Structure 1
Amino acid sequence: MARPNEEVEALLQEYADLVAITGGDAFKARAYEKAARAIGGHPVDVATLDAKGLQEIPNVGKSIAEKVVEFLRTGRVSAVEEVRASIPAGVRELLTIPTLGPKKAMALYEELRVSSVAELLDAVHDRRLRDLKGFGPKTEENILHGITLMQKAGGGRVLLSAAMDVAEQVVGELSRITGCDRCAYAGSLRRMRDTVGDIDVLVAAGRSEPFMKALEGLPYTAEVIASGEKKTSVRTTQGLQVDLRVLPPESWGAGRLYFTGSKAHNIRLREMAIRHGFKLSEYGLFHAKSGRKAVSETEEEIYAKLGLPWIPPTLREDRGEIAAALKGELPEVVEEKDIRGDLHTHTDLTDGVSTLEQMVSAAAERGYAYYAITDHAPNLYMQRMTDQKILAQRERVRALDGKHRKMRLLHGTELNIGPEGDLDWPDDFLAGFDLCVASVHSHFNQSREELTRRLVRACENPYVSVIGHPTTRQIGKRPGIDADFDAVFEACARTGTALEVNSHPQRLDLCDEDILRAKRYGVKFAVNTDAHSVTHLPYMRYGVGTAQRGWLTKDDVINTWPLQRLKRFLRPPGRSR
């Protein structure tokens, strides 16, 4: 379930948006945004802090701390309720549309009296938006795309991380019940899809009743949708459906295989089973003629009976995995234990909320061999970076190098790729960094040609080692940019520039399908967290899951390599220090 920190973060971000809508002080809105991000990334549960303790969190002053205490005590904040009441409900509904900001939402209401998504669609189709200042054909296109994203997200799908939090709590609770032989989640969550519609939980046990009752009685179960001997479905307080199935212990493997999916992968397996004279179901693999069970207890033995090696769940999407398995060409996909370091992270020097020392210590606790600090460069103006600040940080990094469990530190930066493909610092300054990540942070609506040229030019800079969150997408909030990514992938392969698989659950960028395309060009990848807090470092699991879905191996991922090999990639012959 959502941490209190995340609930407070959402509330403060909403308040910042409401202040912006009402034309309030821009500095006040920005202050609440900063506080929201700081609390969301704070490692300590804010529900355990008083007002004084809250004020020790960066960017949290007395007024914000008092609002947080009020929310944690009562579940509401009077100041937020007042501003909500002053804004038409329709405008708040419009704010749920990705790509539509507070000012445009208010303009639509004030100028056209648009107060619902349906009315906005009518206005777009009637071309009435084009008479408004700041609106035009491109705005209409973005709004339509945003509505499509919202409708897709509205199908009950949630971010992978949110589903994982719920699933792991449910599995933990049910695993403690007497009689539980095994318990695990399945479905698209086990396949590490970027969003999840509902959660499938499986239990192997002789009796189902104790588990069904336990699920219905969990404190975060809000509604029992259906209750039965073999399956119970509930809805959590966060609106997520959980389906529990209890299987005979001897059918565990078959049940887990069946309910993991995907549907297309299962169809392929059933077709193979028929050709081998079997029938495959959630209860086992059976001889077609006699009906006698062949195997059922483990996935491995079922695959083996069909002449296949075990196929990792993240590959089970009917993308050629069965053909590859038959030929002995199934990739040995990268695993989280293979990751030797994180190459894209931030501190409170820019927009992170944890100090350099805290981030380094947390990375060392994860057992990394190396770790990179890559705070934002100056062209992202809100971060107020300067040459002096970054050089002073470098000295601190050098002083900490090797002090935490002998973990080696790399001093880098995340550069902003400007509208023309230009970067924040000249080459002679970039030469002083151990690595440079370059990312697009603005001007998302340039033409396809401009965006492509911009990314390719960044790849061609001799000091850029990694392109960060390449498509810039934010799942359910912002679509990826419209660039010719095949041309970008070709440029990365040609210049020896890695593409990031950003592990933040809201990004997972590149996505699995883009990874598959880029891999065909011979591109290398970096699976990074883009962590802005010590609490973000565990996001690595989601990036690795996405990398697996893209069929990546250890050799494809530069931060699985030993440090010396990594350094040769980051600073190949011809790149001077």
Structure 2
Amino acid sequence: MARRNDEVEALLAEYADLVQITGGDAFKARAYEKAARAIGGYHADVAELDVDGLRQIPNVGRSIAEKVAEYLRTGTIFMVEEARARVPAGVRELTAIPTLGPKKAMTLYRDLHISSVDQLVDAIKQGRLRDLRGFGEKTEERLLHGVELLRQAGDRILLSTATDLAEEIVGELSGVRGCVRCGYAGSLRRMRETVGDLDVLVAAERSAPFMEAFTRMPGVAEVIAGGEKKTSVRTTRGVQVDLRVLPPHSWGAGLQYFTGSKAHNIRLREMAVRHQLKLSEYGLFDAESGDVVVSETEEEVYARLGLPWIPPTLREDRGEVAAGLRGELPELVRTTDIRGDLHTHTDLSDGLAPLEEMVAAAAERGYAYYAVTDHAPNLYMQRMTDEKILAQRERVRELDRRHRGMRLLHGTELNIDAEGGVDWPGEFLEGFDLCVASVHSYFDLDRAAQTRRLVRACENPHVHVIGHPTGRRIGRRPGIDADLDAVFEACARTGTALEINAHPDRLDLPDEEIMRARRHGVKFAVDSDAHAALHLPYLRYGVGTAQRGWLTKDDVINTWSLRRLRGFLRKEGARAA
């Protein structure tokens, strides 16, 4: 069963938004935001904790702990229901737009009686927003872009949410008697950043036991359609899951077919036709006789078409078939290639766990090195000081002496200001092993200004990695508008790596930009951006995104030996320039 932490986190985050919408105490809203994040990242299932146990979670005081306990006991929190009743449903619909904050949503409702996304679009087209204070032409452009993002996302869920659900279902069905094989397919297997419906496959002689077990699983809200070969359900979270049961001898063909993508499969079917064959979910058949040629494994299907097995993360019809025919498919980076994490946080800034806990969790993952990179002072909410970060450095050095099998690096995540400057002067930055520089503010600058600030950050000899380079939050905030090719050229010229931030709501750089950056000769760092020990495994999603960008381990600096990594971090080329 899934932990209850995620739903509690979502509820408290919603309440924080409701407080802001109604003009409530900003400190109260911030307290609930922090508590929500802390609960989401806590290692234990909150359903197993009483009030005293809940109070052990960072940023969860008695009042919030009692309300969480109330929710776990009754399924509701009176205070949240009361706040929901005060906020019109239309305003809450508007706040789903990534570029529209809660206060402006309330202004639109109060002053223009806008209570739906369609009404907002009509009002923008009619120019009605321009008379409102704080709403100009640029605001209208951002809102329309936000609406477009919202409509594109639809009912899609984050990669991590889809993975957790799919792995839970596969685990349950694998235990049903008669299961030969079980796994998930579709866009999830291709590691797309968001997923619509889930596709689960079972290889078995009889389908009935699996269909019955599937429809009776906890979390199934309704059965959409049932049949001998396919059953579709909707979960309590609103996710549609399709289960297909295949004959064991058709497993490979079915897995290939239902993994997709559609465009990739069209390419394979075209190749099959040229070989006088026919490809379907049941196998590769002789077009004239109808006899099955191969079907049991994906490798056999690809080989019969004259191709090597193509990793699912490449199956997007972006040149993978042609590369396979030429024998030029890359040997993709794997999670097991990662030797260390170069972007993580502790409770010294906005993390949820102390330094010692994060280091111990990293050591358990078998890393050769591990970097702590808490926020620098210009991110106002962190209240970082020189004294705090230097004291942490001493603790890192002490722990480093204890962890003989894992070297510790002391770093920081700097804030790139509007002009491309960073928090501390060069002489202070000299003391860090690693500096990640990220955009945390000024998201609305024009294209030229955004490009200039990123290029200048790359040119800083003390900046080693540009963190989450576009600044996007999937489904919540679009990436900044910058000339990324100019940024990629600057990274390649100065020896500055670009981060592939593995946090599921970032996955930044996106895969298509990774492919472009690689052509410029850029190197990358795949990092978890962990704010709790529970976040360290997010790295798998970053590696999946790196694979979708065709990266090998030579492209990723944290697959390198510590000696080679330290050479890269010296940025000799940048200093010489």
Q: TM-score band (shorter)?
A: over 0.9
Which AA in structure 2 matches 1:177? V
Aligned partners of 2:461 and 2:571 also within 8 Å? no
* Amino acid aligned to 2:231: T
> 2:326 maps to which residue?
327
Aligned to 1:83: 83
| Corresponding residue number in structure 1 for 2:30 | 30
Larger CA deviation: 93-102 vs 231-240? 93-102
- Preserved contact between residue 346 and residue 374 of structure 1 (Cα < 8 Å): yes
Identity of aligned residues (%): 75
The equivalences for 1:106-185 within 5 A come to 106-154=106-154, 156-185=155-184
Deviation by residue 1:523-567 (Cα, 9 ceiling, x = unmatched): 000000111111111111100000000000000000000110001
Which segment drifts farther, 181-190 or 120-129?
120-129
Q: Are the counterparts in 1 of residues 494 and 571 from structure 2 also a CA contact under 8 Å? A: no
Post-superposition offset of 1:430 = 0.6
**In 2, Cα distance between equivalents of 1:256 and 1:87:** 47
Shift of 1:2: 5.6
Instruction: Quickly say closer, same or farther: Cα 1:110–1:2, change in 2 above 3 A.
Output: farther
What corresponds to 2:64 in structure 1? 64
Question: How big is each residue's C-alpha offset from its partner over 1:73-122, in whole Å with a ceiling of 9 and x where there is no partner?
Answer: 11111111111111222211211111111111111122112222222122
Alignment partners' CA distance in 1, 2:460 and 2:427 = 12
2: CA distance, partners of 1:364 / 1:319: 38
Q: Could you say which residue in structure 2 is the equivalent of 1:415?
A: 414
1:306 is the counterpart of 2:305: yes
Cα deviations by residue, 1:342-391 (Å, 9 ceiling, x for unpaired): 10000110001011111111111111111100000000010000000000
Q: 1:429 is aligned with what amino acid? A: F
- Quote how far apart the aligned CAs of 1:3 are: 2.9
Task: Tell me the residue number matched to 1:515.
Answer: 514
Structure 1 position 404, deviation (Å): 3.8
Letter in 1 for 2:84: R
Q: 1:48 aligns to what?
A: 48
Using the TM superposition, give the Cα deviation of residue 482 of structure 1 relative to its aligned residue in structure 2, in angstroms.
0.5
Q: Is there any run of 5+ residues in structure 2 with no aligned partner, and where?
A: none
Report the equivalent of 1:565: 564
Show the counterpart of 1:492.
491
Which structure 2 residues correspond to residues 87-486 of structure 1 after superposition, within 5 A? 87-154=87-154, 156-404=155-403, 406-486=405-485
Q: Secondary structure at the match of 2:350?
A: coil
Q: Distance in 2 between matches of 1:164 and 1:66?
A: 31
Distance 2:497 2:173 in 1: 42
- 1:515–1:550 Cα contact (<8 Å) kept: yes
Letter in 1 for 2:39: I
CA shift at 1:572, angstroms? 3.4
- Please give the alpha-carbon distance, in whole angstroms, between the structure 2 residues aligned to 1:75 and 1:145: 36
Per mean C-alpha deviation after superposition, the further-off stretch among 443-452 and 277-286 is 277-286
- One-letter code of the match for 1:281? S
Q: Match for 2:82: what amino acid? A: E
Task: Give 1:403 shift.
Answer: 2.7
Deviation, structure 1 residue 417: 0.2
Q: Report if aligned partners of 2:467, 2:498 keep a CA contact under 8 Å in 1.
A: yes
Paired AA for residue 6 in structure 1? D
Query: Aligned partners of 2:37, 2:404: CA distance in 1, in Å?
Result: 30
In the alignment, the residues of structure 2 paired with residue 292 and residue 335 of structure 1 have an alpha-carbon distance, to the nearest angstrom, of 38
Look up the SS of the partner of 2:327 in the other structure: coil
Of stretches 226-235 and 79-88 in structure 1, the one that deviates more from structure 2 is 79-88
Distance between the aligned counterparts of 1:411 and 1:76, measured in 2?
43
Distance 1:12 1:208, change over 3 A: same
Q: 1:573: Cα distance to partner?
A: 3.1
| 1:150 aligned partner, one-letter code | L
Taking the aligned partners of 1:410 and 1:403, their CA distance within structure 2 comes to 13
How far does residue 288 in structure 1 lie from its aligned partner after superposition?
1.9
In the TM superposition, what is the alpha-carbon distance from 1:277 to its structure 2 partner?
Answer: 2.1
Superposed displacement of residue 402, structure 1:
4.9
Q: Which is further off, 564-573 or 449-458?
A: 564-573
Describe the superposition over 1:136-156 as per-residue Cα deviations: whole angstroms up to 9, x where unpaired: 1111111111111111222x2
Cα deviation for residue 406 of structure 1 reads 1.4
1:354 touches 1:533 (CA, 8 Å); kept in 2? yes
The one-letter amino acid paired with 1:139 is: T
Distance across 1 between alignment mates of 2:166 and 2:403: 34
1:478-506 Cα shifts (integer Å, max 9, x gaps): 11110000000000000000000010110
Give the 3-state SS of the residue equivalent to 2:92 in structure 1.
helix
State the Cα distance separating 1:290 from its structure 2 match. Answer: 2.1
2:406 corresponds to which letter in structure 1?
A: M
What is aligned with 2:527?
528
Query: Closer, same or farther in 2 for the Cα pair 1:2/1:120, shift >3 Å?
Result: farther
Q: Supply the distance in 1 between the matched residues of 2:5 and 2:402 (Cα, whole angstroms).
A: 31
Amino acid at match of 1:176: G
**TM-aligned CA deviation for residue 405 of structure 1:** 6.0
**Structure 1 counterpart SS, 2:120:** helix
Superposed displacement of residue 272, structure 1: 1.1
Letter of the aligned partner of 1:418 in structure 2?
Answer: D
Off by >4 Å, runs of 4+ in structure 1: none
**Preserved contact between residue 364 and residue 405 of structure 1 (Cα < 8 Å):** no
Q: Residue 400 of structure 1 aligns to which amino acid in structure 2?
A: L
8 A contact 1:361–1:404 mirrored in 2? no
Contact 1:463/1:575 (8 A) holds in 2: no
User: How many angstroms apart in 2 are the aligned matches of 1:92 and 1:257?
Assistant: 41
CA contact (8 A) 1:360 1:404 kept: no
3-state DSSP of counterpart to 2:402: coil
Question: 2:304 and 2:26 mapped to 1: Cα distance?
Answer: 65
* Counterpart Cα distance in 2 of 1:543 and 1:144: 29
- The separation in 2 between residues aligned to 1:94 and 1:402, in whole angstroms, is 53
SS of aligned partner of 1:213: helix
Deviating more after overlay: 267-276 vs 254-263: 267-276
Superposition RMSD on alpha carbons, in Å? 1.1
Kindly provide the amino acid, as one letter, of the partner of residue 145 in structure 2.
Answer: H
Change (3 A) 1:9 1:496: same
| Cα distance per residue 1:202-233 (max 9 Å; x no partner) | 11000000001111111111111110011111
- Please state how far the C-alpha of 1:575 moved relative to its aligned partner: 7.5
CA displacement at 1:32 relative to structure 2: 1.0
Look up the match of 2:536: 537
